[in-house]
Amino acid sequence: MMNRLTDVVKHLLIINVIVFICFHIVFSQFRAHTFLWFPGTENFRPYQIVSHMFMHGSPQHIMFNMLSLFFLGPTVEQNLGSKRFLIFYLVCGFAAMLLHLALAYTGFINPNPVVGASGAIMGVFIAFGLMFPDVKLMLIFPPIPIKAKYLMGILVLFDLFSGVGGFNTGIAHFAHLGGVIGGFILITMWGKNHLFRR
């Protein structure tokens, strides 16, 4: 399933790429300032609540997130509508942040800084899986087709297993799960009220 590039997805791609280039090349000395540091620490700034969702830690990080948004985002946006999709994307990003900070505050996880659109992207993943569970997606590695519902299940289980297990993967697994939770709640709520197109 491949749709044309939609407006909100296009602008999100542009913003993420511009921010990445600016703070990795032009203003590299300020790169860490765009990360979300734990509130109360000397490195925290209020703008990081937003900036961290549009910054990425490495070329591989932004490439995976933006490819996921490019391939799945337009279908979700067309079914939600552009305004609701933007709300959905941002809510998933904030939900990811809130779960990560809440668990760090309680001491369940280390209060490491987080960066990236992965929470919002995981929300897009779960939205696609809920809307089109039987659509087959082609993986890059290994190059095999898999139904959306199974791929989403695998991703969620991986983050849950890795997060609870405390594995040092360099990934904010609970932030991913926060995005999943936010996305699941919104899609379920909107679906029950018939607020997206099918």
Enumerate domains of the chain plus CATH numbers. 7-192 (1.20.1540.10)
Collapsing DSSP to helix, strand or coil, 101 comes out as helix
What pLDDT was estimated at residue 2?
A: 56
What pLDDT was estimated at residue 27?
A: 87
What pLDDT was estimated at residue 26?
A: 82
Q: Considering the entire predicted model, what is its pTM?
A: 0.93
**Separation between Cα atoms, residue 171 and residue 80, nearest integer Å:** 29
Helix (H) / strand (E) containing 137: strand 136-138
**HSE-up (13 A, CA, CB side) for residue 137:** 18
**Chain segment 157-193, per-residue pLDDT in tens:** 999 999 988 877 889 999 999 999 999 999 999 987 6
Question: Could you tell me if residue 81 is left (phi over 0), alpha (psi between -120 and 50 degrees) or otherwise beta?
Answer: left
**Separation between Cα atoms, residue 198 and residue 190, nearest integer Å:** 12
